[in-house]
Amino acid sequence: MASASANRKKRTLWSQSGPSPRLIFGAAIIAIVGVLGMTPKAFFGIPLAWPFAALWGAIGWGRAGLSLRPMLLLVMFGLMQDIISNAPLGCFAMINLLVYGMSAGIADQTDGMRDTLVAVVGPAVLLVVAFLLVWGFASITSDHLVRAWPLMASFFTTGLIYAFGNGMFDLGRRPGESPGGS
């Protein structure tokens, strides 16, 4: 009797929660990081590379397939980021949605494969694509090539934080479930 209970996996609150509480929690984390990003970001006069937090949601939520609620949140976060960074309205919303769609596509093509290669290469490729999109939009709208290093530093920060916190943006879709069910 004791061995049967020891063999059973301990279920955490996170594993028992459904997609809605996970989506709300992830959105709250993105909103908090976004609000903190509006403050001066320097440490002893050295500017800090602030992450593009909405991309965490775009990459993580996309693994569950396409769904309307994450898309609406990503558009809202993108519009807020456009306003904060003085970007043309819709740039970051479009980037968030493109990365979200590509993440859903990768998840659909690699369904059932939750190995390290897919878990590392997929988000890395998506971050490179997002970097190129942000750099391209910034260069086009400013009529000159913008410096890539500040953007690259922010994307390294984004990727590093996502590597450690990607579970916060997992909506809980199991391999084989139909996409969009969240």
167: tokens are 């579970």
The predicted structure's pLDDT at residue 112: 57
pLDDT digits (tens, 9 = 90+) for 127-176: 999 999 999 998 998 888 888 888 888 899 999 999 898 888 888 765 45
Q: What token pair was written down for 65?
A: 């397939």
What's the pLDDT score for residue 8? 58
What's the pTM value of the predicted model, to 2 decimals? 0.85
Q: Is residue 182 predicted with pLDDT exceeding 80?
A: no
Q: What is the pLDDT confidence band of residue 74, given thresholds at 50, 70 and 90?
A: very high
Coil, helix or strand at residue 46: strand
Is residue 179 within 8 A of residue 65, CB to CB? The reply is yes
| Whether the predicted pLDDT of 75 surpasses 70 | yes
**Is residue 42 helix, strand or coil?**
strand
Q: Which of 10-14, 51-55, 142-146 has the lowest mean pLDDT?
A: 10-14
Helix (H, G, I), strand (E, B) or coil at 47: strand
Q: What is the pLDDT of residue 18?
A: 81
Per residue in 76-95, pLDDT (tens digit) is: 999 999 998 888 899 999 99
Each residue of 98-127: pLDDT tens digit? 999 999 998 888 875 667 777 788 899 999
- Cβ partners under 8 Å of residue 122, min gap 6: 59, 103, 106, 107, 110
In Å, how far are 2, 32, 39, 44 from 122, measured between CA atoms? 41, 26, 31, 35
pLDDT of residue 175: 46
Residue 7 pLDDT > 70, yes or no?
no
